[in-house]
């Protein structure tokens, strides 16, 4: 069964600190993996997209990694800001139109 699991479910950090979010998937055949940021009550916004051959991709303070062998991905946020408070969703695409969504990690950044 195609699944995407994220951890932790929620996370609280202080402003300026770094954090890492995890994503494990059992999607086959694998096409690509995306990380999205979703503010409460808003649509998801793309942060990164990685294909099978890519190990790391950065977007500003966000750095995503992908290990296709272990089927794991991480999203590292550097020097967190209050505006980073949101849900972060890992989405894996099989070789079809279908996207498999993780349940997300709710991040709260406090001053």
Partner 1 sequence: GAVVSQHPSWVICKSGTSVKIECRSLDFQATTMFWYRQFPKQSLMLMATSNEGSKATYEQGVEKDKFLINHASLTLSTLTVTSAHPEDSSFYICSARGGVGGRNTIYFGEGSWLTVV
Instruction: Tell me if 98 contacts partner 1 by CB under 8 A.
Output: yes
Positions in 37-66 near partner 1 (CB under 8 A): 41-46, 49, 51
CA quadruple 42, 55, 79, 34: dihedral, nearest 10: 0
Nearest to 15 by CA among 75, 85, 67, 69: 85
Compute the least distance from the CB of residue 41 to partner 1, in Å. Answer: 7
> Do residues 27 and 4 lie in contact, with contact meaning Cβ atoms separated by under 8 Å?
yes
Instruction: Tell me if 27 contacts partner 1 by CB under 8 A.
Output: no
Instruction: Tell me if 33 contacts partner 1 by CB under 8 A.
Output: no
Instruction: Tell me if 68 contacts partner 1 by CB under 8 A.
Output: no
- Helix (H) / strand (E) containing 108: strand 105-110
Q: Which residues bind partner 1 (CB under 8 A)?
A: 32, 34, 36, 41-46, 49, 51, 89, 93, 97-99, 101-104, 106
């Amino acid at each position: 069964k195609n699944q995407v699991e994220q951890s932790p479910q929620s996370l609280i950090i202080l402003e300026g600190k770094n954090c890492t979010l995890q994503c494990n998937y059992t999607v086959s055949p694998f096409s690509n993996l995306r990380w999205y940021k979703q503010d409460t009550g808003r649509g998801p916004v793309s942060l990164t997209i990685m294909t099978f051959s890519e190990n790391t991709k950065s977007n500003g303070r966000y750095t995503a990694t992908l290990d296709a062998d272990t089927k794991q991905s991480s999203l590292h946020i550097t020097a967190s800001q209050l505006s980073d408070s949101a849900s972060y969703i890992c989405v894996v695409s099989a070789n079809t139109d279908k996207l498999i969504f993780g349940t997300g990690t709710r991040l709260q950044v406090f001053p």
